[in-house]
């Protein structure tokens, strides 16, 4: 169902019948209101301001992108319907251990939290900037399955009954080609897909077979055009080869490599589906968790995705911190978004990268040409398992870092009205 239509439908029909049936608890009804009072309200610039409208006669499509969203493990434990806390990591045997570590660092969390709690200030920014499509890389399995993937040292899962957490931010699509969606085996993937689809959230990058894993999510934006999101993983992200979907086997859309041959295959896949004026997004899970350097092979592949395969936006993720941004032939390449939500805040190590800081990426795209018109980065911080606006000092730190890394790629950012505005 198209985004606009779905939102209108939800607004009109879902809220009241649920209340009437008593499905929502008193707590979940009351909590959002109480929580809203604590929102750190800011004056955010409007997405579609007057001068932008005047300058661009073509329709503009607005997108929200972010990096890894990990609502499993410790995060799942503070939500209303936590999974069994047993995990099988060498470091930790109980998911509540991650809650304990976070609380030790930043103070107690009033559990259980409401479904919208984890999104914190992000909800205000999303409502204010009103993107046409909201895209996240969901880095967790949604399942009750207790059989983890043999040999997988870290296992993320969220209980399916916590799906309202993703609905609370009105997420439109979860990309799933990553190194955690099969942590709880094929059954875990099957439940992830069915939980998301039941919640009217589209998926791309994983499926019951190769065809579903490769299929893009499609959004029809009224009077603007279509947005197609392809999702794939590279093995450099730690996605095991055994997770690769095939004609007979469920799994993820794992690329063989980043070669010209792979580009050629993607180009023919895109050209078979693409219609005139479609905006085509490549959401790719690649590279390690830490480090600013951009692999030359990754850069060449990103350029190839734009030049040869016809993609308009490269949405890269896997790094736990944001990386530099490039705009190549008017098409944006986000090499690594950085984590948007996770349960790592009590874990020590790699402090110099400030993995607690991230961005909400808001892109304005010319719907006719697919060119980037504007990119706004809203600095965020994860604290008490909740996304909040980064403070001034941290926003300045992010600005300085993005300029240092952007210099190598031809981009710069300026801090204006609590957001970083990209120039190229
Ligand atoms: Zn990952």
Cα(139) to centroid(ligand 1), Å: 6
Cα(421) to centroid(ligand 1), Å: 27
Mean pLDDT of the 224-232 span: 97
Phi-psi region at 12: left, alpha or beta (left = phi > 0; alpha = psi -120 to 50)? alpha
Cα(174) to centroid(ligand 1), Å: 14
pLDDT at 51 exceeding the cut of 90: no
Q: Which residues surround ligand 1, an ion (CB under 5 A)?
A: 178-179, 318
161 against 56, higher pLDDT: 161
Cα(277) to centroid(ligand 1), Å: 31
Instruction: Please provide the average confidence, as pLDDT, over all residues in the chain.
Output: 89
- The residues spanned by each domain of the chain are 3-423
Given a contact cutoff of 8 angstroms between Cβ atoms, the answer to whether 132 and 227 are in contact is yes
Using 50, 70 and 90 to split pLDDT, how confident is the model at 29? very low
Mean pLDDT of the 205-223 span: 97
12 against 320, higher pLDDT: 320
Cα(339) to centroid(ligand 1), Å: 9
pLDDT at position 58: 84
The C-alpha atoms of residue 142 and residue 260 are separated, in whole angstroms, by 35
Q: What is the pLDDT of residues 232-248, one digit of tens each?
A: 999 999 999 999 999 99
- CATH class for the domain made up of 3-423: alpha beta
pLDDT at position 30: 33
């Amino acid at each position: 169902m198209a985004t606009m239509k779905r939102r209108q439908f939800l607004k009109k029909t879902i809220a009241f019948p649920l209340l009437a049936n008593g499905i929502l608890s008193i707590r979940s009804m009351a909590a959002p209101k109480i929580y809203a009072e604590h929102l750190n309200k800011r004056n955010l610039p409007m997405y579609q301001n007057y001068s932008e409208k005047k300058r661009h006669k073509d329709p503009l499509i607005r997108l929200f992108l972010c990096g890894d969203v990990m609502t499993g493990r410790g995060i799942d434990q503070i939500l209303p319907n936590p999974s069994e806390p047993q995990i099988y990591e060498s470091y930790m045997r109980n998911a509540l251990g991650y809650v304990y570590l976070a609380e030790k660092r930043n103070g107690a969390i009033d559990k259980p939290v409401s479904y919208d709690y984890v999104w914190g200030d992000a909800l205000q920014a999303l409502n204010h900037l009103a993107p046409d499509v909201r895209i996240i890389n969901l880095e967790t399995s949604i399942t009750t399955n207790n059989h983890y993937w043999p040999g997988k040292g870290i296992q993320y899962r969220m209980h399916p009954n916590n799906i309202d957490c993703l609905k609370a931010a009105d997420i439109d699509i979860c990309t799933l080609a990553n190194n955690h969606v099969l942590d709880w085996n094929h059954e875990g993937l099957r439940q992830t897909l069915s939980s998301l689809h039941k919640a009217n959230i589209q998926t791309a990058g994983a499926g019951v077979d190769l065809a579903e894993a490769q299929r893009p999510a499609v959004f029809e934006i009224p009077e603007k055009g279509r947005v197609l999101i392809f999702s794939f993983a590279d093995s450099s992200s730690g996605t095991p080869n055994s997770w690769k979907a095939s004609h007979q086997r469920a799994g993820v859309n794992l690329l063989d490599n980043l070669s010209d041959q792979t580009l050629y295959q993607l180009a023919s896949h895109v050209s078979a589906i693409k219609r005139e004026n479609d905006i085509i997004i490549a959401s790719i899970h690649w590279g390690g968790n830490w480090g600013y350097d951009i692999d030359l092979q990754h850069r060449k592949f990103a350029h190839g995705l734009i030049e040869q395969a016809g993609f308009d936006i490269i949405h890269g993720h896997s790094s736990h911190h944001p990386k530099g941004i490039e705009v190549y032939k008017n098409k944006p390449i986000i090499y690594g978004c950085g984590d948007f939500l996770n349960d790592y805040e009590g874990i020590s190590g790699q402090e110099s990268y400030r993995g607690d800081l991230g961005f909400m990426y808001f892109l304005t795209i010319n719907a006719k040409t697919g060119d980037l018109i504007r990119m706004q980065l809203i600095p965020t911080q994860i604290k008490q398992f909740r996304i909040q606006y980064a403070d001034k000092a941290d926003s300045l730190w992010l600005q300085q870092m993005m300029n240092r890394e952007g210099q190598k790629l031809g981009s710069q950012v300026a801090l204006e009205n609590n957001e970083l505005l990209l120039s190229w």
